Amino acid sequence: MYSKFCETMKTLRKQRGLNQEQMAETLGVSAQAVSKWETGGSFPDISLLPIIADYFGVSVDYLLGHDTSKRAEKIEKICLQAEALFQEQKYMQAIPMLREALIQHPGNEKLMYSLAWALSGMVRESPDNYDEAILLYHKILEISTDTAMRTKVTRDLMYRYYTKEEYDKALACAHALPPFAVCREYNLGRGNLYAGRQLAEYLQSNIHLFGAAMMECLEYFADDRILTAEEKQPYTVDSAKEKIELLKQIMA
């Protein structure tokens, strides 16, 4: 890490047209300190790294010689490989690959999510794996600042708790999800941000999406196993049977 920092520091300083004395004055340190940083004799205090990075307009990772773009590409490739295995329900093959990736990239939320998904697929074979998946989901919620990731994890937790018959926890997760009125699809469809063919295509995709959701609701409502005759009574005009038959006709 020292050698990479030395080279990067020296290169950035020269690109700014600064000598070591000028660099030292800017950072409030001695010229001798800057010289030692660039020759590998010492390393700046960790509190100085963000200041140096901000001054040069780079990230701390770049300053330390970490190629974050290649790291992100590698993680994305692993997640895509895992997704391909999920499509074939080959969870057992995905799990060791994702565990190894997390050793190399600890705390990466994308890898943690993929591993949690793989472990969730093993519910019949190994309930312990399912519990580990839930722990991973909660870990992601602790560390992630990505709204989309947090929403996706909360949704998954709802289903995981439902499978475990922990209905109170499942309900808590469901209520934590954003309401329909603020979802992307609904608001992009009515927000006048698209026009012409682009809007028409987007609205058409929404019709399919919302139509499928409505069909699910109708199927559940029409299913005699969902509501008892007494529970159906408030929704009837003449009788529960007539209303259910009407819903079935709508579905058809």
Alpha helices in 28-67 (DSSP H): 31-39, 49-56, 60-63
- DSSP code, position 252: -
Share of the chain above pLDDT 90, in %: 43
- Arithmetic mean of pLDDT over the chain: 86
Instruction: Check residue 4 and give its pLDDT.
Output: 80
Instruction: Check residue 234 and give its pLDDT.
Output: 64
Identify whether residues 241 and 205 lie together within a single domain.
Answer: yes
> Which residue, of 134, 159, 177, is where some domain finishes?
177
Number of domains the chain contains: 3
CATH code (residue 172): 1.25.40.10
> Which residue, of 63, 82, 113, is where some domain finishes?
63
Reference 157, options 180, 129, 178, 131; nearest CA is 131
pLDDT at residue 247 is higher than 90? no
pLDDT digits (tens, 9 = 90+) for 57-104: 877 877 887 766 778 889 999 999 999 999 998 999 999 999 999 988
User: Stretch 179-194: mean pLDDT, rounded?
Assistant: 89
Sign of CA dihedral 87, 88, 91, 94: negative
Residue numbers of the domain that contains 26: 2-63
pLDDT at residue 237 is higher than 70? no
Instruction: Check residue 239 and give its pLDDT.
Output: 61
Count Cβ atoms below 10 Å from residue 112 Cβ, excluding itself. Answer: 24
Reference 120, options 78, 157, 68, 80; nearest CA is 157
Identify whether residues 173 and 85 lie together within a single domain.
Answer: yes
Is the model more confident about 213 or about 124?
Answer: 213
